[in-house]
């Protein structure tokens, strides 16, 4: 008799946990926002207006490799967070894109405090900067000062 009581309790607990556990998504969800602006028409129409189709494109900066990822290696200490690559060279007028691939906010702040400052870059967001003068710009994350890198701009 005592064994059947234990089995009933274990089955009850298992069923409760199964019923109360959150469901797990089996495929990723992608949200796409398309904004259409239609001109006002003096004549009412029952037919819906045509909606332009959004096409994905790669900006010249990304295609040229002027991209830096803000990296937080999984299961590592925050002191191992970094910019990858830690040095990038671009020409004056080329756009550099920093992608925050991590789970926390970061910044891209020039050490001189004047050349550029991204402000807060939320997780999965990006910051773009187009240098207008040649030079070597060292930068860091204002929230995580050990994160340092260099932008070399040539004419």
| Domain annotation covers residue 147 | yes
pLDDT of residue 23: 44
**Residue 148 CA: distances (Å) to CA of 16, 143, 155:** 50, 11, 24
pLDDT exceeds cutoff 80 at 83: yes
| Domain annotation covers residue 113 | yes
Give the 3-state DSSP-derived string for the chain, with helices as H, strands as E and coil as C. CHHHHHHHHHHHHHHHHHHHCCCCCCCCCCCCCCCCCCCCCCCCCCCCCCCCCCCCCCCHHHHCCCEEEEECCCCCCHHHCEEECCEEEEECCCCEEEEECCCCCECCEECCCCCCECCCECCCCEEEECCCCCEEEEEECCCCCCCEEEEEEEC
pLDDT exceeds cutoff 90 at 6: no
pLDDT of residue 36: 34
Percent of the chain surpassing pLDDT 90: 58
| Cα–Cα distance, 68 to 139 (Å, whole number) | 12
pLDDT exceeds cutoff 50 at 59: no
| Domain annotation covers residue 136 | yes
Per the structure, the count of domains in the chain is 1
**Looking at residues 64-86, what average pLDDT do you find?**
94
Query: What is the Rg, in whole angstroms, of the alpha carbon atoms belonging to the chain?
Result: 26
| Domain annotation covers residue 102 | yes
| Domain annotation covers residue 41 | no
| Domain annotation covers residue 110 | yes
Domain that holds residue 145: 60-154
CATH number at residue 75: 2.60.40.420
pLDDT tens-digit readout, 96-153: 999 999 999 999 999 999 999 999 999 999 999 999 999 999 999 999 999 999 999 9
| Domain annotation covers residue 85 | yes
pLDDT of residue 58: 43
| Domain annotation covers residue 24 | no
**Looking at residues 45-58, what average pLDDT do you find?**
38
């Amino acid at each position: 008799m005592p064994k059947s009581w234990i089995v009933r309790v274990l089955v009850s607990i298992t069923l409760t946990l199964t019923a109360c556990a959150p469901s797990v998504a089996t495929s990723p969800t992608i949200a796409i926002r398309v904004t259409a602006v239609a001109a006002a028409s003096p004549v009412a129409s029952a037919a819906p207006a045509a909606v332009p189709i959004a096409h994905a494109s790669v900006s010249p900066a990304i295609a040229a490799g002027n991209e830096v990822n803000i990296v937080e290696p999984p299961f590592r200490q925050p002191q191992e967070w970094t910019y990858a690559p830690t040095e990038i060279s671009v020409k004056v007028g080329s756009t550099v894109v920093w992608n925050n691939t991590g789970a926390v906010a970061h910044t891209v702040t020039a050490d001189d405090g004047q050349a550029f400052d991204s402000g807060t870059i939320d997780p999965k967001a990006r910051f773009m900067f187009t240098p207008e003068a040649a030079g070597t710009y060292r930068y860091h994350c204002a929230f995580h000062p050990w994160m340092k890198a260099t932008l070399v701009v040539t004419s």
